[in-house]
Chains A and B, each alone.
Chain A
Amino acid sequence: MLEVNIHKLKLKNPVMTASGTFGYGEEFADFIDINRLGGIIVKGTTGSHREGNPYPRMAETPSGMLNAVGLQNVGVDAFCNNIYPRIRHFDTNIIVNVSGSTIDEYCETASKINALDNIPAIELNISCPNVKKGGMGFGTNADMAAQVVSEVRKVYSKTLIVKLTPNVTNIVEIAQAVEGAGADSVSLINTMLGMAVDVERRKPVLSTITGGLSGAAVKPVAVRMVWQVSKAVKIPVIGLGGISSAYDALEFLMAGATAVEIGTANFIDPTVTIKVIEGIQEYLDRHNIADIHDIIGII
């Protein structure tokens, strides 16, 4: 059995896709049956349309990549009016990643998403390293993190997941703060702040100089943080960071994650999510494990 619950959210399996790596799901429909996924976390959505950062926004790095997209998105109204009607029929959990620069913007976006019948959860992004205002600023301070979560909690009645940044001294403290403020789950980790230099041009590769590191390179850090946080909070933890195989996903589950998200690996193999789901089932079968809960958090 692969079913897991994140608060009121029921997942047919623990494999979801990470925000900003899977579009609105439609981009991958040629390659896989979207309905087989545990959930899709769609592109980070803000109160109004954002153009994002200038090109270049991407740098390949050893076993990973830096991005500095900067939350380019259509804005919450265009999402509700134009995109939601196209994707609401998917037989999987469509979760919206909600981002912003102010508490008011987070609350306004969350309350608009709250009104959409087929969106059972939001992932509150207090951890984007690529926007000047807000974003990671909220996620690096326990008091501010708690404040934004408690305000959003007042206007959002469904499952509230809070996405945490690894760019902090003590992620456990932030996780406990958002749990105390009413979060139903935490997802971690967002990208790690990094930088790459083009030595021939003698300039930074990214237009923004720094960007967010993702991919296999961050996985051990992510597993460690998931383990630490899952020991310290009672709410379910969603693990992400460099997952590209069933074994990677199983590491996160054993370290304490109830579910996982797959991100950058979708760029390399657009069918990776299905391979991970099948690989987890194959592992359970091979070890005669009837219920995935028997391995969650065993470390």
Chain B
Amino acid sequence: MTKHITNFTIVGKENYGPQYFKLVLKHPSTLPVIMPGQFVEVEVKNNKNVYLRRPISIHDVDEKANTLSLLIQIVGKGTSTLSQLEIGESLNLVYPLGKGFSVEGHKVLLVGGGCGLAPLLHTARCYHAKGIRPTVLLGGRTADLIPIKDEFGKYADLHFATEDGSLGEKGLVTSHSVFGKAYDRIVTCGPNPMMKAIARYANEKGIDCEVSLENNMACGIGACLCCVADTDEGHKCVCKEGPVFYAKDLTKWCNS
């Protein structure tokens, strides 16, 4: 897939509590095809303490409107600066980057933890477009830490798990009752301990499992070799050879 560098225009912005916000970005002409699970490298202007771009996963794509959206959690100075952006401003993206989800399988479970649910909306939509209605399980410590909820209902059977029981079943996502059903594929993005537990479960059961990793990056295109994950075949760039990896290739990682 050809990569691009393009100035987008912010045409929508929504805040979800103090920690999360969504930007809807319009391409100046025709948005190229974007696979679910791919990401963008966003230029951060107006903060002299931010030097590098920030990798942000693509939350959703609207091919008709030529827009893509980013769901961002404020975790540091880069994302904090991005949260100050307003509708009408422009944002420079290098995109679409990385290897996304396969959108394979028939009985599919998508598991998102916290802001890790971001890439799963476009993923759910792509499954739905293939005539497959996946099961989606979203988890967080509390309901407030699951920023997007209802949107998934259009494409998927939606379930929740929260540690305090404020939404859905009480407990960790990995102990949710949806795991009692049979799946031929599990797709997950979220905190590492959650993804490691799901990857171990899938590997034990022999279920195909795709895991979306997140590491600090510089270039985002496989040039600097900074963002490597420790896969069973050695160091691989999360930005280029990932961010999506198969759990069966991460046995060392998921037991670490």
Contact = CB atoms under 8 A, between A and B. Distances in A.
A23 B234 CA distance: 18
A116 to B, nearest CB: 22
B11 interface: no
A58 B224 contact: yes
B52 A268 contact: yes
A56 B4 CA distance: 27
A58 B227 contact: yes
A267 B5 contact: no
Contact of A30 (B3, B50, B234): B3
A58 B218 contact: yes
A72 B235 contact: yes
B216 A58 contact: yes
A247 interface: no
Interface in A41-57: 43, 51-52, 54-57
Interface residues of B, number: 31
Summarize B's interface: helix, strand, loop or mixed: loop
A283 interface: no
A249 to B, nearest CB: 19
A35 B223 CA distance: 18
Summarize A's interface: helix, strand, loop or mixed: loop
Given A55-B227, A215-B51, A267-B53, A23 B5 contact: no
A170 interface: no
B46 interface: no
A65 interface: yes
Contacts of B2: 30
Interface in B227-247: 227-230, 234-235, 240
A62 B49 contact: yes
B219 A266 contact: yes
A56 B224 contact: no
A56 B230 CA distance: 11
Nearest to B50: A60
B221 interface: yes
B215 interface: yes
A69 interface: yes
A52 B225 contact: yes
Interface of A: 20-23, 27-28, 30-31, 43, 51-52, 54-58, 60-65, 67, 69, 72, 215-216, 264, 266-271
Interface of B: 2-5, 43, 48-53, 94, 215-230, 234-235, 240
5 contacts: A21-B223, A27-B240, A67-B224, A67-B226, A268-B43
